[in-house]
Each structure stands twice: as structure tokens, then as C-alpha cells.
Amino acid sequence: MSLFKERLLNQLDKIDMSQKELAEKTDITPATISRYTTGNRNPSAENARRIASVLGVSVDWLIGVSDSQNFNSSQLSKKEKADIAKDLDEIKRQLLDSDELMFDGMPMDEESITKILSALEVGMEMVRKKNKEKYTPKKYKR
């Protein structure tokens, strides 16, 4: 069983929420939620954020990157989030300026670029959080 599927099902059970209620609260179709709970599909970064928010857990914990459910565990500061946003804006500008950019044999459109940027954002946040955990002295950790 995938860690995401296991944690999703356990958290739904823990807070006594149905898949249908989760679908309504996250604006994700019930069929998609069902695919997540059967392990047939993994969520996009945006859907993982929506689900984690409704379930009251961190995205990192839900997708299996962290063992801490807390939002405060290695949270990024506003400056760190702004730095990531600035980097992503620059990457987006470069991608949009490129006329010959292809993905899977097809020219890249703005929707594809947005999906790539969303995945990059999650990756950049994960790396910063892991580095923060790794390099913060114990006496400064919460």
C-alpha cells in the first residue's frame, strides 16, 4: 500500500470524514478521491495541498516526505516562500520565452508550464524544509 493512500485512509477514518465529504470540501471529483484511496492514482501538488488542508495535516506528512503531521515542523518563512516564488517566476518567464520548448513530443502550452512549475514548487519547498531540519541546531528547533 502506498504511503499516501495509507495516510489518507487513516486520516479520513480518524476524523470520521467520508470520501464524498472530502471531495466536496476540496472541490476534487469523488471519482478522483476514490482513485487516490484505491492507490490507482497519486494527487497533483495542488490536490495534495487541498486534501492536507482539509484533513488538518501537513502536505509533507500526507505524501510521505515527513513523519511529522504538524504544519509547524520546518515551516518556511515568508522570505523563503517569497524567494521560491521569485525563482519560479523567473523560470516561468524563461519557459514562456522559449519558442521551441517541447514535452513528450508536443509544444509546451501555458497549462503544461503551470503543471511543471507546481511540481517544481513542491520540490523546492521539500528541499528547503529538509535542509532546514538538517542544518538547524537542536537548541533552535521547536
Give dist(CA 103, CA 120) in Å, integer. Answer: 15
The C-alpha torsion from 111 through 117 and 123 to 129, rounded to 10°, is: -130
Q: Residue 130: what pLDDT?
A: 77
Handedness of CA 9, 15, 19, 22 (dihedral sign): negative
Report pLDDT for 33: 95
1.10.260.40, 3.20.20.70, 3.40.50.11610, 2.40.160.40: CATH of 3-63: 1.10.260.40
Percent over 90 (pLDDT), the chain: 31
Q: Which residues pair with 102 in a beta bridge?
A: 107
pLDDT at 55 over 90: no
Residue percentage of the chain with pLDDT more than 70: 89
Label residue 72 by pLDDT band (50, 70, 90): very low
User: Torsion over CA of 48, 52, 55 and 60, rounded to 10 degrees?
Assistant: 120
Q: What are the boundaries of each domain within the chain?
A: 3-63, 78-140
Q: Is 142's pLDDT higher than 70?
A: no
Residue type for 35, please? Answer: R
| Mean residue pLDDT across the chain | 83
Assess whether pLDDT exceeds 60 at residue 71: no
List, in order, residues 6 or more apart from 38 with CB less than 8 Å away.
5
pLDDT of residue 1: 57
